[in-house]
């Protein structure tokens, strides 16, 4: 009763083609957006912004990017950390070279740079498949990190190889650097996340998305019906890397403020984002957000409960936290291998009948 797909009639093609064709969906999303843009910025505290909301939004963008590659185009990648590093270092180089250009433009250009790098490392995908490809993308991961560590030009010849984000403003408001207020960080990330999610949603339901899915389901069959695997796979790598690059750029410039390639963008990052995609649900935009929320909140939550509320020794809490995270991941995969997105779909089904299930 509450959630209905029937009875929502359209009279124009435009109405039928809009991002959310269902009125109820649309209203729901507008409501969420309204809260996100108009309420949260006024109530958000430093802790919630830096420890929860900002990482959540940034990881959601990264997960969205990886989901396009893994969930829609079926190409498993473990190079996410490396691509995020490309975005981060591109932003750093650009903003120190052209300090007068808006940081937002730098972030987008960094995404484009990452897209190029991603396409380059996506080339082997034309020959290599499955886990072989997954392991092959690790080459990108390790090589890129090594490169950023080794070539002093990337970190402006600083003594320690760390990059530090200088202060930048948008419309007169400081958005990077330590003096940034919590709401500004949050709003920048939110704007990017919403815009990119909109982009991803529309790409994936259009021609290009259908090509990706055809490749995912069976690439030889797709080729036979006229999908060019070269363009399909490379666009998937490109778009995915674009999003991941932007995530990396925001991660460095807004969230961390200073970074070191091997520390901030190591292989763990690749695994973490892949977890988000899998837990959230392969091939689902909503899933990317849900997965990111889950993986960001879970450790914070566990840590606070175990060592905070229960008062356990921190080392024991930390070790047991690892066990719980591991066990929960396995548990999730067992009960719902299609991720949180599937749970959401089931909820909608339930709501359709509720309160009169037959």
Partner 1 sequence: MKLRFAALATAAVMAAGPAMADLVVPNLSYRTGPYAANGNQYADGFNDYFTLLNERDGGIGGQKIQVPECETAYNTEKGVECYESTKGNGALVYNPLSTGITYQLIPKVTADGIPMYTPGYGRTSAKDGAVFPWVFNAPANYWDGASVSVKYLLDQNNGSLEGKKIALIYHNSAFGKEPIRTLQELGKKHGFTLTELPVEPPGQEQKSQWLQIRRDKPDYVLMWGWGVMNQAAIQEAANIRFPMENFIGVWWSGGEVDVLPAGAGANGYKSLTFNGVGQDYPYYEQLKQYVIDPGKASQGGPSIGSAVYSRGMYAALVIAEAIRKAQELAGTSEITPAQLRDGFEALNITEERMAELGLPNFGQPIVLSCANHGGEGQGRVQQWNAETKTWSLVSEFATPDAEVLEPLIQADAQAFAAENSITPATCN
Partner 2 sequence: MEQLLYVSEIVVNGLMTGVMYALVALGFVLIYKASGVFNYAQGVMALFAAMTLVGIQQGQVPFAHLINALTGMHVSNFGWNVPAVLAIALTAGVMVLLAIAIQKLVLQHLVGQEPIILFMATLGLAYFLEGLGDVMWGADVKTLDVGLPQGISDAAEALTARLTGYGFFIDRLDIWAAIIATALVAALVAFSQYTKQGRAMRAVADDHQAALSVGISLKFVWIMVWSIAGFVALVAGIMWGTKSGVQFSLSLIALKALPVLMLGGFTSIPGAIVGGLIIGVGEKLFEYFVGPMIGGATETWFAYVLALGFLVFRPQGLFGERIIERV
Separation CA 84–CA 250 (nearest Å): 9
Separation CA 209–CA 185 (nearest Å): 31
Q: What are phi and psi of 141, to 5 degrees?
A: -50, -55
Binding mask 48-77 for partner 1 (x = CB under 8 A): --xxx--x----------------------
Query: 313 is written with which tokens?
Result: 């020794």
Binding mask 286-325 for partner 1 (x = CB under 8 A): -------x---x-xxx-xxx-xxx---xxx-xxx--x---
Exposed / middle / buried, residue 345 (Cβ in 10 Å: 0-12, 13-18, 19+): middle
Nearest distance in Å: CB 336, partner 2: 10
Nearest distance in Å: CB 263, partner 2: 14
161 binds partner 1 (CB under 8 A): yes
Q: Which residues pair with 259 in a beta bridge?
A: 163
Which residues between 170 and 199 bind partner 1 (CB under 8 A)? 177-179
264 binds partner 1 (CB under 8 A): yes
169-170/173-174 β-pairing: antiparallel
Separation CA 23–CA 7 (nearest Å): 10
Within 13 Å of residue 239, how many CA atoms lie on the same side as its CB? 24
Q: What stretch of H or E contains 170?
A: strand 169-170
132 binds partner 2 (CB under 8 A): yes
Distance of CA 53 to the CA centre of its chain: 13
Compute the Cα dihedral for 271, 277, 279, 280 and give only its sign: positive
Q: Which of 218, 230, 300, 353 binds partner 2 (CB under 8 A)?
A: 218
Partner that binds at residue 2, options partner 2, partner 1, none, CB closer than 5 to 8 Å by kind: none
Partner that binds at residue 274, options partner 1, partner 2, none, CB closer than 5 to 8 Å by kind: partner 2
Residue indicated by tokens 């929502």: 8
Separation CA 136–CA 151 (nearest Å): 23
Nearest distance in Å: CB 224, partner 2: 7
Looking at the Cβ atoms of 72 and 255, the one nearer to partner 2 is 72
Binding site for partner 2 (CB under 8 A): 70, 76, 124, 127-132, 134-136, 138-139, 142-143, 145-146, 149-151, 218, 220-221, 224, 267, 271, 274-275, 278, 282, 312-313, 315-316, 319-330, 333-334, 337
Interface residue list for partner 1 (CB under 8 A): 46-47, 50-52, 55, 96, 146, 149, 158-162, 164, 166-167, 177-179, 256-260, 262-264, 293, 297, 299-301, 303-305, 307-309, 313-315, 317-319, 322
């Amino acid at each position: 009763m509450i959630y209905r797909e029937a009875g929502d009639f359209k009279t124009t093609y435009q109405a039928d083609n809009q991002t959310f064709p269902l009125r109820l969906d649309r209203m729901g999303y507008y409501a969420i957006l309204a809260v996100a843009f108009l309420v949260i910025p006024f109530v958000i505290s430093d802790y919630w912004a830096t420890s929860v909301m900002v990482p959540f939004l940034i990881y959601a963008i990264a997960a969205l990017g990886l989901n396009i590659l893994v969930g829609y185009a079926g190409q498993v990648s473990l190079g996410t950390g490396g691509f995020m590093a490309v975005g981060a270092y591109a932003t750093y180089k650009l903003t120190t070279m052209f300090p007068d250009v808006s940081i937002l433009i730098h972030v987008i250009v960094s995404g484009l740079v990452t897209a190029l790098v991603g396409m380059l490392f996506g080339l082997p995908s034309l020959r290599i498949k499955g886990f072989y490809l997954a392991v092959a993308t690790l080459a990108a991961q390790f090589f890129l990190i090594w490169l950023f560590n080794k070539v002093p030009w990337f970190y402006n010849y600083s003594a320690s190889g760390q990059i530090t984000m200088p202060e930048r403003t948008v419309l007169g408001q400081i958005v990077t650097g330590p003096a940034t207020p919590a709401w500004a960080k949050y709003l920048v990330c939110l704007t990017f996340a919403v815009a990119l999610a909109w982009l991803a949603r529309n790409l994936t339901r259009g021609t290009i998305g259908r090509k990706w899915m055809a490749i995912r389901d069976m690439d030889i069959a797709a080729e036979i019906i006229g999908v060019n695997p070269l363009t399909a796979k490379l666009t998937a790598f490109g778009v995915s890397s674009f999003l991941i690059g932007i995530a990396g750029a925001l991660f460095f410039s807004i969230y961390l403020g200073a970074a070191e390639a091997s520390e901030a963008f190591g292989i763990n990052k690749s695994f973490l984002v892949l977890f988000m995609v899998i837990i959230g649900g392969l091939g689902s935009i909503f899933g990317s957000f849900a997965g990111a929320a889950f993986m960001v909140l879970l450790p914070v939550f566990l840590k606070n409960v175990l060592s905070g509320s229960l008062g356990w020794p921190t080392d024991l809490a930390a070790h047991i936290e690892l066990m719980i995270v591991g066990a929960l991941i396995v548990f999730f995969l067992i009960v719902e291998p299609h991720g949180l997105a599937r749970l959401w779909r089931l909820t909608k089904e339930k709501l359709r009948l509720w309160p009169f299930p037959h």
